Structure 1
Amino acid sequence: MNSISQPYLSERNVPPPILVELFANCGIEINGPQPWDIQVHNPKTYDAILSKWSLGLGESYMDGYWDCAQLDEMICRLLSQDLNETVHGFARIRMVGEVIRAKLFNLQSKERAFQVGEQHYDIGNDIFERMLDPRMMYSCAYWEKANNLAQAQDDKLEMICRKLELKAGEKLLEIGCGWGGLAAYAAKNYGVEVLGITVSKEQQALAQERCRGLPVTIELIDYRDLQGTFDKIVSVGMFEHVGEKNYLAYFDAAKRLLKDNGLFLLHTIGSDVEVTRTDPWIDRYIFPNGKIPCSAELTKALDGRFLIEDWHNFGQDYDKTLLAWHANFVQTWPQVASEYSERFYRMWSYYLLSCAGFFRSRQGQLWQLVLSKRSRREVYRSKRLKPIN
């Protein structure tokens, strides 16, 4: 295995035997006939993978060095074999550096909290408006009874509102409100007053527009600066940006803001095991400073702060959600292609399809937790689908 760390001359057109073997162990053949086989156009691909592993794999795809007819399935096969452990020697120094970076520095501090908004959510609403459902929900949909993305997202919103036991006149805080889809739904259908917060200026502007005329306020603010009390709190797809060093501060803030008899629904991506670093490609190009929690990290942070009333996992629905987003993205790309580069198109496709593979491999989970303070006296009954008429 010492040969793993040796430079591989990109001028050579024959793939290095170690990569052939590693891919073969996952049922992938380099330049093979199956739709999940990697098709290498430029031998620089091998240098990129050998030197930087997942970062090199993604960057070489962005550069057009390789393609794959079923990229999502290829990534699923790679992740199902836990190759990150097998190939640790490929980029040992780089990986160790990422771990140290995450451990020593608070990558999600207040000073850095708006960075993900500026880099990811502010790229342009035109991409998201075309890719997402009409409510612009940028989180996992719920597909148990739905046969299209819009219905699956509506079912998710209805389920969230029912899990929170929303009642007319209540005040709902949404930490990470996106483009206002959930806030508008809850205000219209459940008669609640909503405060939504975001770290994205583009999200705030569009959310305010989409919630006009409703009892909804959208503020550009970090959760640590919030004041007041709320009957219910919800956070959908934001916890991944909080970071392990801030878990206690996050839940302390939620506890301080929630009324004694209230409920807090946390909707977050989760990992099957504890991860010490974010995938370097995702960190650099998609979600800077992110961190996916494992179950142990969550329960440790919740200890003494909240009781877990319900824990619902429907992570496999994210695979289908991401494929629906990708289909929309590809279909509507001609409408915005003049505003973006081909490299951006390949980057965004790689992001959506590789994430679909991540959830298909079951490394990725999607959790909805319903939390309460110990002071709550009502018995909580778990809820899933909305009633059938």
Structure 2
Amino acid sequence: MDSQSLTHTAFFDETSSSHRFVAKLLDEADIRINGKRPWDIKLNAHGVIDEALARGNLGLGESYVNGDWDAERLDAFFFHLLRARLPDKISHRKLVFHHLRTRLINLQTAKRAFEVGEAHYDIGNDFYAAMLDKRMTYTCGYWKDADNLEEAQEAKLDLICRKVGLEPGMRVLDIGCGWGSFMAYAAEHYGVECVGLTISREQADYGKSLMQRGLPVEFRLQDYRDETEQFDRIISIGMFEHVGRKNYRTYMEMAHRCLKDDGLFLLHTIGKNVRNSSPDPWIDKYIFPNGELPALGHVTDAAEELFVVEDVHNFGADYDRTLMAWHEKFEAAWPQFAEAYGERFYRMWRYYLLSCAGAFRARDIQLWQFMLSKKGVLGGYHRVS
């Protein structure tokens, strides 16, 4: 039977207490089961409600990837869901082990550091090239004066260069350099030399093409903990999410060790609103293994006695537009990847991009840029925008 022709009662037993409970919760978020609006959830199979109640987003995400439910606008579904804070109203007993695992075990040891590179960043440079901007920038764009993804990403790169006051001849360390978009931009436009650290072999291989263009950039396939050189400036864009709370202090100590006394350190990271919450189990399992979003206090605690926090800039709402732009490019390019990656990957990637877009839109998660100095900027630091 075509899923579009399924009746309201086919997979939703209104006499079930759990289903009545969920229907009432969803009503608080203005979401209807088998409704006709773009953000309403359409059930295609049994068990979706029970999976979501028992296993939270892990159950909801896996049932979506299986094709058990749909929403015409998945981003809008998650916006409504998270803006109403519905996940806070459900106790997921089966997720206790996941919570304890992330709190008690160091999931981001040096030995584990390369796991996320292999699982996420090494799935194919051609795939990311089709989804991202021309510089392969896989972090939030800055949309203040931008009309498209290319402009937003270049504006972000230039904002960072201006925030740290790059000058010709400086040496810059990029912790978690990705495909080298910042290093290439900074070298081309500000005349600096850059060293980038990555745990992705695909990214390191891609970096060779930048070096072949004669740019003064160096890719090092190594864990951040192994770096010992000193630099005029340190940049870290979208890498701190892979560090983990048990390693925040170690990370800051490394940055302090590698930054010259008069240097500046810009830390760009996604962050969460609640300190003691656990990593999202679906994202952890399928997208970013061993990842963890820091809370604001995690960053400042780790920096204490090492750095002065000169400035904190939150433009998390811009990640919504960035993710939606990536999704648009992903959808347009999908026919060339469909045979190699398959339908389950397609649904997984849609769920990843659009659920995250909805979360940023709901302001459930943030994007911060911290400006840090070792001794404090004399006369004060003045933010550029």
Q: How does 1:65-80 map to 2 (within 5 A)?
A: 65-80=68-83
**Partners in 2 of 1:269 and 1:208 — Cα distance?**
28
Aligned residue identity for 1:291: E
Structure 1 residue 363 displacement after superposition: 1.2
CA-to-partner distance for each residue in 1:133-176, whole Å, 9 max, x for gaps?
00010000000101000010000000000001001011000000
**Partners in 2 of 1:376 and 1:360 — Cα distance?**
34
Structure 1 residue 67 displacement after superposition: 0.9
Cross-structure match for 1:119? 119
**Partners in 2 of 1:145 and 1:189 — Cα distance?**
19
Unaligned runs of 5+ in 1: 1-9, 385-389
**Partners in 2 of 1:27 and 1:376 — Cα distance?**
49
Cross-structure match for 2:275? 274
Cross-structure match for 2:303? 302
**Partners in 2 of 1:324 and 1:216 — Cα distance?**
28
Aligned residue identity for 1:193: E
Q: Is the 8 A contact 1:260 1:375 kept in 2?
A: no
1:25 aligned onto 2:24: no
Structure 1 residue 297 displacement after superposition: 1.4
Aligned residue identity for 1:317: D
Structure 1 residue 309 displacement after superposition: 1.3
**Partners in 1 of 2:262 and 2:378 — Cα distance?**
7
The range that moved more, 137-146 or 123-132, is 123-132
Cross-structure match for 1:357? 358
Structure 1 residue 257 displacement after superposition: 0.2
Q: Is the 8 A contact 2:130 2:333 kept in 1?
A: yes
Q: Is the 8 A contact 2:312 2:369 kept in 1?
A: yes
Cross-structure match for 2:140? 140
The range that moved more, 153-162 or 293-302, is 293-302
**Partners in 2 of 1:211 and 1:33 — Cα distance?**
53
Count of aligned pairs: 372
**Partners in 2 of 1:381 and 1:355 — Cα distance?**
32
Q: SS where residue 235 of structure 1 aligns?
A: strand
Cross-structure match for 1:6? none
Cross-structure match for 1:343? 344
Aligned residue identity for 1:122: D
1:171 aligned onto 2:171: yes
CA separation of 1:215/1:50 partners in 2, compared to 1, >3 Å: closer, same or farther?
same
Cross-structure match for 1:4? none
**Partners in 2 of 1:196 and 1:50 — Cα distance?**
43
**Partners in 2 of 1:125 and 1:264 — Cα distance?**
29
Unaligned runs of 5+ in 2: 1-8
Cross-structure match for 2:51? 48
Aligned residue identity for 2:42: Q
Q: Is the 8 A contact 2:272 2:296 kept in 1?
A: yes
Structure 1 residue 85 displacement after superposition: 2.2
Structure 1 residue 80 displacement after superposition: 1.5
**Partners in 2 of 1:296 and 1:142 — Cα distance?**
24
The range that moved more, 15-24 or 341-350, is 15-24
1:14 aligned onto 2:13: yes
Q: How does 1:57-68 map to 2 (within 5 A)?
A: 57-68=60-71
Structure 1 residue 95 displacement after superposition: 2.1
Cross-structure match for 2:249? 248
**Partners in 2 of 1:297 and 1:371 — Cα distance?**
15
Q: Is the 8 A contact 1:157 1:185 kept in 2?
A: yes
**Partners in 2 of 1:205 and 1:73 — Cα distance?**
37
**Partners in 2 of 1:349 and 1:12 — Cα distance?**
23
Cross-structure match for 2:162? 162
Cross-structure match for 1:3? none
Aligned residue identity for 2:358: G
Q: Is the 8 A contact 1:316 1:365 kept in 2?
A: yes
1:366 aligned onto 2:367: yes
Cross-structure match for 2:236? 235
Structure 1 residue 50 displacement after superposition: 2.7
Aligned residue identity for 1:108: Q
**Partners in 1 of 2:152 and 2:340 — Cα distance?**
30
Identity of aligned residues (%): 51
Task: Indicate the RMSD between aligned Cα atoms, in angstroms.
Answer: 1.4
Q: SS where residue 136 of structure 2 aligns?
A: coil
Q: Is the 8 A contact 1:110 1:222 kept in 2?
A: yes
Q: SS where residue 29 of structure 1 aligns?
A: coil
Cross-structure match for 1:219? 220
**Partners in 2 of 1:223 and 1:182 — Cα distance?**
17
**Partners in 1 of 2:161 and 2:109 — Cα distance?**
30
TM-score (ref. length: structure 2): 0.94
Structure 1 residue 180 displacement after superposition: 0.7
Q: Is the 8 A contact 2:11 2:44 kept in 1?
A: no
CA separation of 1:298/1:375 partners in 2, compared to 1, >3 Å: closer, same or farther?
closer
The range that moved more, 68-77 or 43-52, is 43-52
Aligned residue identity for 2:297: A
Q: Is the 8 A contact 1:176 1:198 kept in 2?
A: yes
Cross-structure match for 1:83? 86
**Partners in 1 of 2:247 and 2:121 — Cα distance?**
21
Q: How does 1:370-385 map to 2 (within 5 A)?
A: 370-374=371-375, 377=378, 379-384=380-385
